[in-house]
Structure 1
Amino acid sequence: MNSLNTGTIINIAAIALLVWFVYSRFKPTKGLRNLNAEDFKNEMVKPGKPLVIDVREPNEFKGGFIAGAKNIPLSQLSGRLSEIPKNQELLLYCRSGMRSKNAARILLKNCYQGLAHLQGGLSAWNGKLVRK
């Protein structure tokens, strides 16, 4: 009976960790606007020309990217903050929307404002892509 209790406790702990993980991945990020593909396109042409940042890895970027995007991979973001102006709107995207959301969290912790990301990433994008 004791092993059953231990097993039950382990199962409950595992489920709690899974719920926390899913919640932390999908919860809204304060200070980050979620944009669908159409809104993202509209934001790209606004006066002041927001900086579009693709946070995917260089090999992914070469396979196809949104015209005008700068490639700053999430894995390099913290070391390349000096390349990102703090006085400009920033539009972030990745393949699915997860890495761009994580990039936004890093930028927000470093006092960046005016952040938006492409919800669903390039998977949700219906515009043209440039290939290198």
Structure 2
Amino acid sequence: MKQLTAKEVEAKLNEGKALNIIDVREVDEVKARRIPGITHIPLGLLEFRMHELDKSKEYVMVCRSGGRSGRACQLLDSHGFKVINMAGGMDAYEGKTE
């Protein structure tokens, strides 16, 4: 599974790179703190909403610590999507949030 550290994601965003970030945490977690511009799809709904995603794009999966996003990566990868797990999750992310 491809991975980026939270620092690498932060650096890419600071450089102005457009990343397709999907946050798979629960609603209350995302309300408390999130990366601007993310798409929020709770892990439990991902299988039912993957039709909303584009297989030609690469997605960075995010959760609190990296576990749920790792499972999301495995699910999407098995369906032919290009995915990267943000290792360490939001616990490790020190960049801009809202």
TM-score normalised by length of structure 1 = 0.68
Compute the displacement of 1:129 (Å): 1.4
Runs of 4 or more off by more than 2 Å in structure 1? 41-46
Q: Does 1:123 align with 2:91?
A: yes
Is the 8 Å Cα contact of residues 50 and 88 (structure 1) preserved in structure 2? no
Report sequence identity in percent. Answer: 34
Alignment partner, residue 54 of structure 2: 85
Which residues of structure 1 form unaligned runs of 5+? Answer: 1-31
Structure number with higher relative contact order (C-alpha < 8 Å, ≥ 6 residues apart) = 2
Measured against aligned partners, the alpha-carbon deviations of 1:74-110 in whole angstroms (never above 9, x if no partner) come to: 0000000011111111011100100000000000111
After TM superposition, list the pairs within 5 Å mapping 1:17-32 onto structure 2: 32=1
* Aligned mates of 1:102, 1:42 — CA distance in 2: 24
Question: For 1:1-132, what aligned pairs fall within 5 Å after superposition?
Answer: 32-44=1-13, 45-46=16-17, 49-113=18-82, 115-130=83-98
User: What is the Cα-based RMSD across aligned positions, in Å?
Assistant: 1.3
Q: Which structure has more helix as a fraction of its residues?
A: 1
8 A contact 1:51–1:69 mirrored in 2: yes
Q: Which residue identity does 1:58 align to in structure 2?
A: V
